[in-house]
Chain A
């Protein structure tokens, strides 16, 4: 289904749309206030973007450096070229440890690789331990946002969900009660887990360690209690040196939620005594994106979610309308690179307002890349016959003043004289909820000619 169709369904419940929009706008405003407090914010963004550009230009070297430093610390490093390989590697580690229960701290990469259904089919219990992720997991839905995965759910909906799955009492959506019940439920899962899986926010080439940012401390809790830790990262998560963390940690949390820094920034540099640590470095289409010059900067992304919060379309259509692991503006650039056909409507799900590019902490020119994708899609994908005919004709008309004059006059004549039902019919999307402009007697060309004659 196209984005516009899903968005239309989401928009049937206007009160819910308003609530969704307000919730995300609130986060966007928190981000503004918090960024205002940092002197040189725009400089910091520049710096972040520059470091990322350097990383992408020397990705091979940084990855090799990272691997060798990680190995020195006793970390097992694995490479996966795609989602299947990633999942198989995870499974082989679980088999080695005879693990039946896994706790996971938020990782969009494992979502991207569809790790949960893969492991569940093998009889392994996988529990997402981030509260938002746990909520969508119970609801059997994908996350609708990369930082606020359950932002599309009201607390009343969560209440019902918890009653069904965790056996809680009806509480009218009392947040303290719901959180404390979730905590009890998760504590039990943490204690019984054999292996902990985490994502990676930053992988530091010169130390060989990784950093995971969470607000609930669930990454630490999982890792400290389990026998083994598997950290899954995309190849683009590398930063050259530990000192660069100062730039990214400041940018990340402020852009994401307006916090100065996430509650926990957990550094994992080697396994604890008697335990094992694994890192899986995953490509899964990233090298291909890197090879597309117009779109390579999309790999700067540090997954803060700010472009989603600011996007006026995302706020009113919900993350699920994008039908991709990473929704919103950045997802609309990443997804056509993975499957052009399936995601060809996403680069059009934007007014190109540019707010995403302004907000992005690593200065990705998001709206310009959306414009570029549109050109690629029209060339490579079959277009609706009518749309194509209209636009091709427009191209011809607009290049010929005589034709343009005639077409302009006819269109104005039609608008003025045709019965309303012809203009306001189902095929006319403009007229569904909007009136058409009132037509004046003369266009400007005619007025101008007359004035010059009289004058």
Chain B
């Protein structure tokens, strides 16, 4: 059988600031024996522009994205919000077969592992008390899990994966899917509220005895980490790919 070809999408800020997240993602996919390629010359999905109202100016970045990824069966990235943007906001491009293919086949990492590869146990071990921050774009946008506002059975792609990590204790939070307040440029233009939301989010994890906050969207984690470091709080922040790739 032909091996599925996966194009690895590394969002701009992860590339520049969190290479360890990209490395863990790549290693995870390699471990699972998929054919992973990293198209050189990729930049960004255009989300920061779109969310700021500059969708028109993001067309160059979106077209480049399609150019880079059109030949792969799947496009996988460790960031729910970027994948959401590709799937939902690339409607500003002309809907050529290539654009449609890229939009249909873009997957957030956890979703790809569970839904496409069908694995939940990656043989990882991580003996710590972990709190899961469910990013809104992943949760409500990509439907990676059930949302507290919506009536229906409980499910969570990230929880399925974390529950199979040896030694890991998944702590329950008081507000299990409240927004952290990052919101892209919201974090700068609505600084006061953004910071307050982040502080409240962190407090929930502290109150729930969490040692490590994880999530599938490093932008939220970057915001929380910035607050944790400034306020010297006893919490660590790790992307879910790093936890799933660890064997402690």
Per-residue contact bits, chain A 347-367, to B (CB 8 Å; 1 contact, 0 not): 011111111011100000000
Contact of A394 among B49, B196, B222, B230 (CB under 8 A): B49
**Interface contact tally, CB-CB below 8 A:** 204
User: Which B residues between 210 and 232 are near A, CB-CB below 8 angstroms?
Assistant: 222-223, 225-227, 229-230
- Nearest CB of B to A258, in Å: 13
Chain B residue contacts of A437, Cβ below 8 A: 17-18, 222, 225-226
User: Which A residues between 388 and 430 are near B, CB-CB below 8 angstroms?
Assistant: 391-392, 394-401, 404, 408, 411-412, 429-430
User: Which B residues between 129 and 178 are near A, CB-CB below 8 angstroms?
Assistant: 136-137, 140-141, 147-152, 175, 178
Cβ–Cβ contact B149 & A358, under 8 A: yes
Cβ–Cβ contact B151 & A36, under 8 A: yes
Per-residue contact bits, chain A 372-401, to B (CB 8 Å; 1 contact, 0 not): 001111110000000100011011111111
Chain B residue contacts of A398, Cβ below 8 A: 12, 43-44, 46, 49, 58, 60-61, 64
- Nearest CB of B to A117, in Å: 31
Cβ–Cβ contact B230 & A440, under 8 A: no
Q: Is the C-beta of A17 less than 8 angstroms from some C-beta in chain B?
A: yes
- Nearest CB of B to A413, in Å: 11
- Given A4-B190, A394-B48, A434-B227: A312 touches B197 (CB 8 Å cut-off): yes
Contact of A391 among B57, B150, B181 (CB under 8 A): B57
Chain A residue contacts of B42, Cβ below 8 A: 401
- Nearest CB of B to A296, in Å: 18
B: number of interface residues (CB 8 Å): 74
Cβ–Cβ contact A353 & B179, under 8 A: yes
- Given A398-B61, A401-B43: A391 touches B52 (CB 8 Å cut-off): yes
How far, in angstroms, from A354 to B143 measured CA to CA in the complex?
11
How far, in angstroms, from A394 to B225 measured CA to CA in the complex?
25
Cβ–Cβ contact B140 & A354, under 8 A: yes
Q: List 18 A-B contacts (CB under 8 A).
A: A4-B191, A11-B193, A312-B179, A313-B190, A317-B193, A351-B181, A351-B184, A351-B194, A352-B183, A354-B141, A358-B140, A371-B51, A374-B53, A378-B54, A391-B54, A398-B44, A434-B195, A448-B26
Q: Which residues of A contact B (CB under 8 A)?
A: 3-4, 7-8, 11, 14, 17, 21, 25, 32, 35-36, 38, 41-42, 310, 312-313, 316-317, 348-355, 357-359, 371, 374-379, 387, 391-392, 394-401, 404, 408, 411-412, 429-430, 432-437, 439-440, 442-445, 447-448
Q: Which residues of B contact A (CB under 8 A)?
A: 10, 12, 14-20, 22-23, 26, 38, 40-44, 46, 48-61, 63-64, 89, 136-137, 140-141, 147-152, 175, 178-179, 181-184, 186-198, 200, 222-223, 225-227, 229-230
